[in-house]
């Protein structure tokens, strides 16, 4: 296998993302959340209570995947779910005080995960945002416009 310095950029990005996520999840286990859970908590913290379907749409995952994430968060007391008064088939999800505390702890873990903390180059960050926006919009057929600041990254609320 060739040295990583010879890999295509997409393979480097995929491998780096996978390694960061594994490391992050190992550290997050101590507070009872996963990478996916942190993203859900961050969106709920920034945008307030919403339906599970809306949350899945904003996070750009299938509703079934979000349901599994929310189930784990609810078991740990990080979110609450109630029937939607307008649509009894739906649930409205909200972050709890325990969820806010877990989100704060996760943000510290995230900042300390990589050497140098969150001081990566603005150019790299901009390129990553472009990749997420273009590939995410194509995959989920959205305009990329989100309410408020639109930033779904857990680091954005730190």
The side-by-side arrangement of strands in the sheet containing 79-83 is 50-51, 91-95, 79-83
Q: How many independent structural domains does the chain possess? A: 1
Note the pLDDT tens digit of each residue in 11-65.
Answer: 998 998 899 888 988 999 989 999 899 999 999 999 999 999 999 999 989 989 9
**Burial class for 56, CB neighbours closer than 10 Å (0-12, 13-18, 19+):** buried
CA angle 149, 113, 30 (to 5 degrees): 95
Closest CA to 79 of 105, 113, 102: 102
Residue 2 inside a domain? The answer is: no
Percent of the chain with pLDDT over 70: 84
What whole-number distance in Å separates Cα of residue 77 and Cα of residue 58? 22
Q: 104 pLDDT exceeds 50?
A: yes
Residue 57 inside a domain? The answer is: yes
pTM of the model: 0.69
Q: 69 pLDDT exceeds 90?
A: yes
Q: 153 pLDDT exceeds 60?
A: no
CATH of the domain at 86: 1.10.10.10
How many CB atoms are located within 10 Å of the residue 44 CB?
24
Say what the pLDDT of residue 45 is. 98
Say what the pLDDT of residue 25 is. 86
Q: Taking the CA atoms of the chain, what radius of gyration do you get in angstroms?
A: 17
Note the pLDDT tens digit of each residue in 111-133.
Answer: 888 776 666 677 887 888 888 88
Residue 7 inside a domain? The answer is: no
- Domain range spanning residue 53? 17-157
Residue 45 inside a domain? The answer is: yes
Residue 10 inside a domain? The answer is: no
Q: 150 pLDDT exceeds 70?
A: no
């Amino acid at each position: 296998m060739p040295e990583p310095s010879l890999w295509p950029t997409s393979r480097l990005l995929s491998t780096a993302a996978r390694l960061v996520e594994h490391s992050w999840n190992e550290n997050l286990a101590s507070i009872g959340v996963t990478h996916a859970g942190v993203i859900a908590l961050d969106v709920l913290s920034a945008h307030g209570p919403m339906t599970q379907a809306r949350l899945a749409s904003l996070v750009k995952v299938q509703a079934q995947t979000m349901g599994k994430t929310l189930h784990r968060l609810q078991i740990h007391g990080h979110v609450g779910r109630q029937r939607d008064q307008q649509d009894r088939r739906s649930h409205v999800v909200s972050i709890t005080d325990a969820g806010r505390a877990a989100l704060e702890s996760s943000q510290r873990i995230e900042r300390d995960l990589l050497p140098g903390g969150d001081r990566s180059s603005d150019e790299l960050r901009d390129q990553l945002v472009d990749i997420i926006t273009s590939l995410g919009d194509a995959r989920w057929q959205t305009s990329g416009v989100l309410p408020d600041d639109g930033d779904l990254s857990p680091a954005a609320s730190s």
